[in-house]
Amino acid sequence: MIKFSDENNLIDIDYASYKSRLSKIVTGINDKSIEGSDFLGWIDVFNNSQHVVDEVINENKRLRKLGKTMVVIGIGGSYLGAKAVDDAIYGQNLATEYKLLFVGNSISSHYIDEIYNHCLNNDFVLNVISKSGSTLESALSFRIFKKLLIEKYGEEGLKERLVITTDPSDGKLREFANKHDYTSFNIPSDVGGRYSVFTAVGLIPLAFGGIDIEKFLKGGADASKQYLKDDINNDAFKYALNRYILNEENGFAVEALISYRPSCRYLIEWIKQLYGESEGKNSKGLLPVGFIYSTDLHSLGQFVQDGSKILFETLFKINNSKRVVDIPLEEDDFDGLNRIVAQNSMHDIKMKTMSGVINAHTEGGVPNLVIEMEYLDDYTIGYLMSFLMYSCMYTAYLLELNPFDQPGVEIYKREMYKLL
């Protein structure tokens, strides 16, 4: 389903010598003795979510009768997963009937007002997502859009159109939901934000947007069976090991996450958060950055090829597309491209560009890792995200870090609240 390749990583790795580290990590995960094991609930979600799926599907049928827009309020792990999947599958949403609009991820008046104005003139439902229930950005947007719901539809309409996704027992949002008996879903206490896309956090918006959430979860669950294995051929561990060795032993500080599909920009944003918050601790960890090629080959390609040797690339390679774009031949061949166009579709050009770029960048001393899949659809994106969650967890454990806390994020919040 997912193929990991280290063929172009420019270093030799003796995988067998890491066998005992993998065994220790897998044992620690299974018997919950490893650091951070109180946040391993995301693994149980794969085996335990049929009732949540059924509830989400029923709720979605009701919500879709009320409007074609869902405003999703959340930040960080409370929105990136849904945004990543919705964009990756539906692109610019030009053809979709039901749309997701994300707020609470920004404090830009320009951004919020644009969505507010759309909602003035279009029927909408609201899903507010916050595990802690007290994140400033989300709470501010919730005030704004809750008021708009009341103004448009009254208190009864608010009750009908609002869905709250939060902690089962803690936090102000849970208190608020219980007090007014609003429709609410739980984020399991033992699942952290950036590992929550397979819970109601991701499933409610994705179902509304049109994703087949059963296939998405099945993809995640199948990958989970594959990658929680004490087997040195476990690709999630191999990818983690490559990242760890390139970083710790070879001095690469930056991992450039590459996609050639612009609609995967938010998939990369989701990975950036997953890796950045899980691994950037105790003065350790890779800085994850994202590039969309070939766009960024025309801006950052020079640096990658020839600049400071601080980065390696991880390419997310999708081998097939269900969409076919043929490029027309020109009678007078004014641009001299007829020979190329006669032999290649747009997809062929992209695939050959990918290979050419790997050759060029590795010649320039930039290691390349490749994560390859045949198609990106509702099932495979679930599989891929689960694979990446495992890889991230393994990398953090190789670095001897807790993958599930984020002490650094709290510090900016403290300073901001002092000023506010």
Write out the catalytic residue numbers: 277, 298, 413
Applying CB under 6 A, does 192 fall inside the site for ligand PA5? yes
Q: Which lies closer to ligand PA5 via its Cβ, residue 130 or residue 314?
A: 130
For residue 399, the SS3 value is coil
Residue 269 CB, nearest approach to ligand PA5 (Å): 12
Q: Which lies closer to ligand PA5 via its Cβ, residue 145 or residue 260?
A: 145
Helices in 181-234 by DSSP H: which ranges? Answer: 200-209, 213-227
Q: In angstroms, rounded to a whole number, what is the distance separating the alpha carbons of residues 149 and 172?
A: 20
Q: In angstroms, rounded to a whole number, what is the distance separating the alpha carbons of residues 267 and 262?
A: 10
Residue 140 CB, nearest approach to ligand PA5 (Å): 12
Q: Which lies closer to ligand PA5 via its Cβ, residue 131 or residue 238?
A: 131
Tokens matching residue 269: 């944003």
Query: Residues 93-132 vs ligand PA5: string with x where CB under 6 A?
Result: -------------------------------------xxx
| Exposed/middle/buried for residue 60 (C-beta within 10 Å: 0-12, 13-18, 19+) | buried
Q: How many residues of this chain bind ligand PA5 (CB under 6 A)?
A: 14
Task: Kindly tell me which residue out of 138, 234, 314, 386 binds ligand PA5, with binding defined by CB under 6 A.
Answer: 138
State the helix-helix crossing angle for 136-161 and 407-419, rounded to 10 degrees. 90
Residues 6 or more apart from 101 whose CB is under 8 A from it?
69, 70, 71, 72, 115, 118, 119, 124
Which of 160, 210, 159, 225 lies closest to 387 in space, CA to CA? 225
Tokens matching residue 300: 């950052």
Applying CB under 6 A, does 141 fall inside the site for ligand PA5? no
Residue 77 CB, nearest approach to ligand PA5 (Å): 3
Residue 185 CB, nearest approach to ligand PA5 (Å): 13
Residue 399 CB, nearest approach to ligand PA5 (Å): 18
Applying CB under 6 A, does 75 fall inside the site for ligand PA5? yes
Q: Which lies closer to ligand PA5 via its Cβ, residue 136 or residue 300?
A: 136
Stretch that binds ligand PA5, among 32-40, 76-84, 216-224, 369-377 (CB under 6 A): 76-84
Which of 300, 51, 277, 135 lies closest to 269 in space, CA to CA? 277
Q: In angstroms, rounded to a whole number, what is the distance separating the alpha carbons of residues 274 and 389?
A: 7
Task: Kindly tell me which residue out of 41, 67, 76, 285 binds ligand PA5, with binding defined by CB under 6 A.
Answer: 76
Window 356 to 415, contacts with ligand PA5 (CB under 6 A): 406
What is the binding site for ligand PA5 (CB under 6 A)? 75-78, 130-132, 135, 138, 192-194, 277, 406
